[in-house]
Structure 1
Amino acid sequence: MAKDYTAEIDIKQTFKSYEEERLYRKQRLAASFRILARRGLNLGVAGHITVRDPEFTDHFWVNPFMTSFSQIKVSDLILVNHEGRIVEGKKPINRAAFAIHSQIHQARPDAAAAAHSHSPYGKVWSTTGRLLDPITQDSCAFYNDHGLFNDFTGVVYELEEGKRIAEALGNYKAVILQNHGLLTVGQTVEEAVWWFVSMEEACKTQIMAEQIGSPILIEKEHAELTAKQIGLPVAGKGNFQPLYDEVLREEPGFLG
């Protein structure tokens, strides 16, 4: 029997202090913006990734407003509480980031991180108002594990709309925001960001497949099995690591 190497990935790391864990989370968060930027998954001032503070769990770290994803460093990150008060950092934050992420973090105590950006294929697919189909092994990671928020009313500035997005997300790892884009969550920054990257690719694949014909769906029992194989938190964290290593090697300035 083949060895299960995923068991060797430490999804529940232990840290000596809150400070050590906080720095770890902030480093992965800063790298995540670079990862999305390198793949063209950001657009102007739109988009935000957050991670819950390990000590003050009603606070989260987020990117500053009007700072390019490709330039974000650890020292740029902003700490904000669930009331909207900036606790650490001097720059403003995206109003929509607070409206959405504060409600996600409150509704999902298991979700340490959340990622949202106006990525090209995610936006295109969101206009269909449809969930993704299990047409490839990779897309099965989202089989029966993503929702649809089908009530676009403009830029999300109000907490009430953030609450409704959180309700559409439910206990899933992702939600398609109709006419808007994608949002993913995870127990770690690594997981949330990998799901975003992977879901963008799943949208791209289905869009392209439907241009040439009618994609053949993977049978339900096989889609369910595959989801259990590649849709777990450990898979999200493991797939993120090569992306992090690449940024660390080529753009180590994000650690500053």
Structure 2
Amino acid sequence: MDFSNKDVRSKVSEAEWETRVNLAACYRFAAHFKMTDLIYTHISAKVPGSDNHFLLNAFGLMWDEVQASNLVKITLDGEIVDDPTGLGFNQAGFVIHSAIHEARTDVHCVMHTHTAAGVGVSAQEHGLLPISQHAMRLTNNVAYHAYEGVALNLEERQRLVADIGDKMTLILSNHGLLTCGSTIREAFDYMYYLERACQIQIAALSGGAKLIIPSQEVAEGVAKSFARPGYQERKGEWKALLRMLDKMDPSYKT
């Protein structure tokens, strides 16, 4: 079923439409890589030119049904600005995403998942271990937030923001994973590698053998390698992913 709304594009700026297309693509990528939890969890993006508006998925659509024109535009106070499908948004998603968008001016996109591997690592007392290159690229960039129940309490936002600080990745204990990005591409990049690191950790621990854990110095060196000037700008994964998506199902752009 097509949930697109042809009127949306004519009502928004070119910058907002581009953000909508990239956000819809991000949902499709997450679905492709099996990061979904039915209609739950979210990816949000700030509306360009506005400090108070952000885009979120309509509550009731699967992630492979998200399109540029069916995203819900809401304010940081939870007021709906535009809801083409009439489905509204998930309150827990609003609580988590609005907290980050309001507190972090450097963050354009927030991505949150409930994958088996992510929740599994979030339930381990030692947290993410530096046992893979995927994990070590995130060295000193992972924060933790204690579980407080389903995120419906607006007061939790201040504690969540305090816990993530200036980091770009957050492990929500007994709950899942969260990543941020100055762009949608960057938020997805962090989530992809955090998710893979968690999958690797679950697999390594399941064998019962003693783990090889590199030194902190080595781990920090790996992180610096991925943060070297110009590296992120030269990466071509996002364009490659878009080519893949265009061949699979280009409806995300509508």
Q: State the TM bucket, normalised to the shorter chain.
A: 0.7 to 0.9
* 1:148 is the counterpart of 2:148: no
Deviation at 1:129, TM superposition (A): 3.4
CA contact (8 A) 1:48 1:63 kept: yes
State the one-letter code of the partner of 2:113. Answer: S
Structure 1 match to 2:31: 37
- 1:1-256 to 2 correspondence within 5 Å? 19-89=13-83, 90-150=86-146, 152-212=147-207, 213-231=209-227, 235=232, 238-256=236-254
CA contact (8 A) 2:114 2:177 kept: yes
Matches of 2:161 and 2:241 in 1, distance apart? 28
Matches of 1:155 and 1:253 in 2, distance apart? 33
Deviation at 1:242, TM superposition (A): 2.4
Matches of 1:230 and 1:238 in 2, distance apart? 14
Matches of 2:107 and 2:15 in 1, distance apart? 16
CA contact (8 A) 1:133 1:143 kept: no
Matches of 1:87 and 1:44 in 2, distance apart? 25
State the one-letter code of the partner of 2:242. Answer: Y
Deviation at 1:19, TM superposition (A): 2.2
Matches of 2:91 and 2:76 in 1, distance apart? 13
Deviations 1:208-251 (A, max 9, x none): 11222222122222211210222579539643332232112211
Normalized against structure 1, the TM-score is what?
Answer: 0.87
Matches of 1:170 and 1:149 in 2, distance apart? 11
Structure 1 residue runs of 4+, over 3 Å off? Answer: 231-241
CA contact (8 A) 2:172 2:178 kept: yes
Task: State the secondary structure of the residue aligned to 1:111.
Answer: coil
Matches of 2:125 and 2:65 in 1, distance apart? 33
Matches of 1:241 and 1:191 in 2, distance apart? 13
CA contact (8 A) 1:186 1:192 kept: yes
Task: State the secondary structure of the residue aligned to 1:55.
Answer: coil
Deviation at 1:54, TM superposition (A): 1.0
Matches of 2:158 and 2:61 in 1, distance apart? 26
State the one-letter code of the partner of 2:46. Answer: R
Matches of 1:97 and 1:38 in 2, distance apart? 21
Normalized against structure 2, the TM-score is what?
Answer: 0.88
Matches of 1:65 and 1:36 in 2, distance apart? 17
Superposition CA RMSD, Å:
1.8
Identity percentage of aligned residues: 31
Deviation at 1:180, TM superposition (A): 0.3
Matches of 2:250 and 2:116 in 1, distance apart? 27
CA contact (8 A) 1:147 1:176 kept: yes
Matches of 2:158 and 2:227 in 1, distance apart? 25
Task: State the secondary structure of the residue aligned to 1:50.
Answer: strand
Deviation at 1:22, TM superposition (A): 1.5
Listed as ranges, the gaps of 5+ residues in structure 2 are: 1-11
Size of the aligned set, in residue pairs, is: 238
Listed as ranges, the gaps of 5+ residues in structure 1 are: 1-17
State the one-letter code of the partner of 1:192. Answer: A
Matches of 1:113 and 1:164 in 2, distance apart? 20
